[in-house]
Structure 1
Amino acid sequence: MKRARRKARREQQDWPEDSVAETSEPAQTEQDDVDEQQSIGWKTSTAGLAGLTRLARAGTWALIASGPLIGVMALFGSSAPAQSAAKATPAVKSSASTGPAGFAQLFVGAYLEAGEGTEQNLAPYYSGSVALTHPAGTRSALRTQAMDAREVSPGYWSVTVAVNVAAKSKKGGYTDAGVQYFRVGVQSTGSDDTSAYTAVSLPAQVAAPAALKPGDLGYPTSRGSGSSDPASDTAASFLKAYVAGQGELDRYTSPGVHLSPVVPTPYTSIKLTSVQDNSEDNAGTKVPGDGVRRRLLVSIDATDADGNTFPLTYALGLTARAGRWEVSSLDDAPATAATSKPSSAPNSAAPSAPSAPSTPGGSAPPSGS
């Protein structure tokens, strides 16, 4: 089409056809080469861009696929020091003795109540041979309490159980035989989820553990039972509201301290019998400046609706504010002196049983350790 138009123009202008052909053909060839190169160049650019796009897409998918692996590597890398520290100082489970102690309590209770003909009641606890000669029910466990549980070797425990024993008399009634102590060897096996226990022998009756004399408390000054001290007066008013339902606790507590009264109200009235504190003897009746703290050990006689009176002791923390004392804490336990420790009381022991009566078989329960 282009050549036809050029020929027509040459004919109109009477140009020599051959010269025109000689000059126009290379030009056309060059133009075609340019067009072809441009076309090839575009195609090459498009292919290159397509290749880059595919490469970027592949890289993105590779990054996504490797994400979990990278996260796991980061997790193990960050937790490695903590795992190493845990191995160096393993945590001690405070409840590890709960299972053996509970098992020993059940075993001792079943042992005391078993007798001739009921030996099979001990089978869940002890698989050894047992032959009892006294009647079943000769003794009964009113209450049992594990006093000590020690792991003497892995999975092997020595448990001491205190029992309030009732003994059956010849007339058929039961009398209080006091608190007696039995020691049991318990083996345990299993994981934290499922554990199994067994006694290695019958219980051994042992002597009561030695009693301790408590160390000095952190209340060196006695205030008696008078209420001339504003701190004592605040303590008395607070306890009246706390256990006798007389007044609102918020009237006697520091701002931000939230305590709830005992419900249902167990007593109708209280009487202050003794107050000890940690302040100087010359702490007068004047309330000090704001923020001064004081610890009180308060003893009361609480009377119920039937007229029965019961002694109680409370450890309180007081803080001065706006010219008066306010209760800032109801302490979990009385404070002890910084250097005070309990000591063994001379010639004394924990509660123990009186002389045990003879069993119908003529033998008395063994004593000693």
Structure 2
Amino acid sequence: MALRRRRENILVGVLAVLATLGGGHAILDFLSSGGPPPVDQTPVVVGHAQLAGSFAEQYLLTYLGATSGQQERIAEFVSTPQMSLPATAKQVADPIVVHLARTYTAGNLEIWTVTVSVRTGKSATQPADTRQYYRVSVSLTEGRLRALALPALVTAPTKGPDLSLHYPTTCAPESPLGQVATGFLSAFLTGTGDVARYTTVDSGMTAMKPAPFSSVDTVTIAAEDSGCGLNGTAEHLMATINPKSDSGPAPTLSYPLTLVRADGRWQVRSIDSLPALPNPLTLGTDQDSRSGPTSSSMPPTSVRIPAPTQN
């Protein structure tokens, strides 16, 4: 009886909240929904993708490492009546899944197409280490995996186009934005100075420990706004730096940053997950299109990408 009363109280509470938020329509939608919302299948798909990728890696290493008379090793992964294996095993290592797609589903059956890159050893026809790419089709049925056929050697992924970034203005390191970006990255990467001095309270950023570099030289500061911090309250910029460690110079690094101004003072709010992009996106067709700032007399040749649409 107590359990039933508790359930009734919970139901009354839910209906009261729905009535407050959406009135009678919200209650009607709740009662006629027919059950809970659909379960997100993303974790399941990701798990299946990992299974298929791992299986493809093991299959390819076993196949390329097998020699004549070891057909039974391959039979653990695929059933094929005709197979020729070399007398000497191919030296392969370091498998990497470079592409993976679910290409077919039917009930509990899924078929995944996996492209795996492997590093091959030196040989008479191949004097230096290189990477080769193999495509494998994998079936997955309730956790059971099987290859559909022998691997296929394919070409490496082709070079993709460059996207133009949206940093049209080059700012001097002495500009308001340049000073904050330079000071922040120096404190963040070298431990010299106080990161909190350059960041907002809610940024949550602290200096890296241990500090990876001993000093930082600023190369360029590219920003969206032409004022470089003289006006505005929010700004996106790209800071490119040359760091140095105790052992010498390190490779150049680029940091897309978001800065905000409060009480006349610029502060870093975040290190952005991706650079600022124009809207609509612009596809650069020359090497200069990815550098950000461009000369007004020599605009980059580009093709506009339509805005995304929902299916």
| TM-score range normalised by the length of the shorter chain | 0.7 to 0.9
Letter in structure 1 aligned against 2:33: P
Offset of residue 211 of structure 1: 2.5
Q: With the length of structure 2 as denominator, give the TM-score of the two structures.
A: 0.73
CA contact (8 A) 1:112 1:141 kept: no
- Alignment of structure 1 residues 137-216 onto 2, 5 Å: 138-154=90-106, 155-170=109-124, 175-177=128-130, 179-190=131-142, 195-216=143-164
Distance 1:159-1:66 versus aligned 2 partners, 3 A rule: closer
- 1:300 corresponding residue in structure 2: 241
Offset of residue 113 of structure 1: 2.4
CA contact (8 A) 1:113 1:141 kept: no
- 2:259 corresponding residue in structure 1: 318
Give the 3-state SS of the residue equivalent to 2:277 in structure 1.
Answer: coil
CA contact (8 A) 2:139 2:146 kept: yes
Letter in structure 2 aligned against 1:271: D
Kindly name which structure, 1 or 2, has the bigger radius of gyration based on alpha carbons: 1
Distance 1:71-1:157 versus aligned 2 partners, 3 A rule: farther
Structure 2, unmatched stretches of 5+, are: 15-27, 287-311
Offset of residue 214 of structure 1: 2.7
State how far apart, in whole Å, the 2-side matches of 1:147 and 1:134 are: 30
Letter in structure 2 aligned against 1:134: A
Letter in structure 1 aligned against 2:87: H
- 2:276 corresponding residue in structure 1: 335
State how far apart, in whole Å, the 1-side matches of 2:209 and 2:275 are: 23
Letter in structure 2 aligned against 1:133: P
Residue by residue over 1:177-209, the C-alpha shift from the partner in whole angstroms, topping out at 9 and shown as x without a partner, is 2x322111111011xxxx111101111111233
Give the 3-state SS of the residue equivalent to 2:103 in structure 1.
Answer: strand
- 2:299 corresponding residue in structure 1: none
Distance 1:68-1:249 versus aligned 2 partners, 3 A rule: closer
State how far apart, in whole Å, the 2-side matches of 1:322 and 1:299 are: 27
Letter in structure 2 aligned against 1:258: G
CA contact (8 A) 1:215 1:337 kept: no
CA contact (8 A) 1:107 1:125 kept: yes
- 1:260 corresponding residue in structure 2: 206
CA contact (8 A) 1:116 1:134 kept: yes
Give the 3-state SS of the residue equivalent to 1:98 in structure 2.
Answer: helix
State how far apart, in whole Å, the 2-side matches of 1:64 and 1:92 are: 36
Letter in structure 1 aligned against 2:86: T
Residue by residue over 1:269-310, the C-alpha shift from the partner in whole angstroms, topping out at 9 and shown as x without a partner, is 111112211102xx16x6447xx0010111111122211321
Percent identity reads 23
Equivalent of residue 240 in structure 1, options 186, 192, 213: 186
State how far apart, in whole Å, the 2-side matches of 1:65 and 1:287 are: 66
Higher helix share: 1
Offset of residue 160 of structure 1: 3.2
Instruction: Tell me the matched-pair count.
Output: 266
State how far apart, in whole Å, the 2-side matches of 1:65 and 1:295 are: 56
Give the 3-state SS of the residue equivalent to 1:104 in structure 2.
Answer: helix
Offset of residue 344 of structure 1: 8.8
State how far apart, in whole Å, the 2-side matches of 1:106 and 1:79 are: 50
Give the 3-state SS of the residue equivalent to 2:129 in structure 1.
Answer: strand
CA contact (8 A) 2:234 2:260 kept: yes
